């Protein structure tokens, strides 16, 4: 069973994408594409992917994320992108994040920020808003 939700917090200007379960590459990219409507409507400065409960890797979707999704959200004025993973997360998720970081090294659109807890991500978001 899979679960995909988005939650917009207008106080923190953060849209959180929560995913749980097994996702095929096409399903992964289709759901992210659908989340663009929420990003366009909510106008967040920060997008967080809560990947702690994904039970499949998404490495094959990473080129699409880098070349299509991240530039699109940058056009929608998103300034920061973060991923929440736990130290003992699914190994395929860990490899997917490492691959995504590698692909983004030379990409000017957005830098990926990794967090090992939602609390860490909240502190990061608060610090970003204070600095803005």
Give the CATH number for residue 98.
3.30.750.24
Q: pTM for the complete prediction?
A: 0.91
When pLDDT is cut at 50, 70 and 90, the band that residue 109 belongs to is low
The answer on pLDDT for 131 being more than 90 is: no
Report the alpha-carbon distance of residue 74 to residue 19 in Å, rounded.
21
Strand order from edge to edge, sheet including 3-9:
3-9, 14-21, 46-54, 80-84, 112-115
Residue 81 burial class via C-beta count within 10 angstroms: exposed 0-12, middle 13-18, buried 19 and up: buried
Look up residue 114 and give its DSSP letter.
E
The answer on pLDDT for 32 being more than 90 is: yes
Give the per-residue pLDDT at 57: 79
Between residues 95 and 107, which one has the greater pLDDT?
95
The dihedral through the CA atoms of 14, 105, 67, 63 has a sign that is negative
Number of separate domains in the chain: 1
Which conformational region is residue 13 in: left (phi greater than 0), alpha (psi within -120 to 50 degrees), or beta? left
Longest distance between any two alpha carbons in the chain, whole Å: 40
Write out pLDDT tens, residues 36-94: 999 999 999 999 999 999 988 789 999 999 889 999 999 999 999 999 998 888 888 88
Residue-number span of the structural domain to which 67 is assigned: 3-131
Residues β-bridged to residue 108: none
């Amino acid at each position: 069973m899979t679960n995909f939700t988005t939650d917009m917090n207008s106080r923190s200007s953060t849209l959180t994408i929560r995913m749980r379960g097994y996702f095929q590459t096409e399903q992964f990219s289709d759901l992210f594409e659908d989340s663009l409507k929420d990003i366009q409507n909510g106008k967040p400065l920060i997008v967080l992917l809560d990947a702690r409960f994904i039970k499949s890797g998404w490495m094959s979707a990473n080129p699409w994320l880098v070349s299509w999704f991240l530039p699109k959200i940058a056009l929608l004025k998103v300034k920061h992108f973060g991923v929440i993973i736990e130290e003992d997360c699914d190994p395929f998720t860990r490899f997917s994040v490492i691959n995504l970081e590698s692909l983004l090294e030379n990409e000017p659109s957005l830098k990926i920020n990794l967090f090992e807890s939602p609390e860490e991500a909240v502190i990061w978001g608060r610090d970003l808003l204070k600095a803005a």
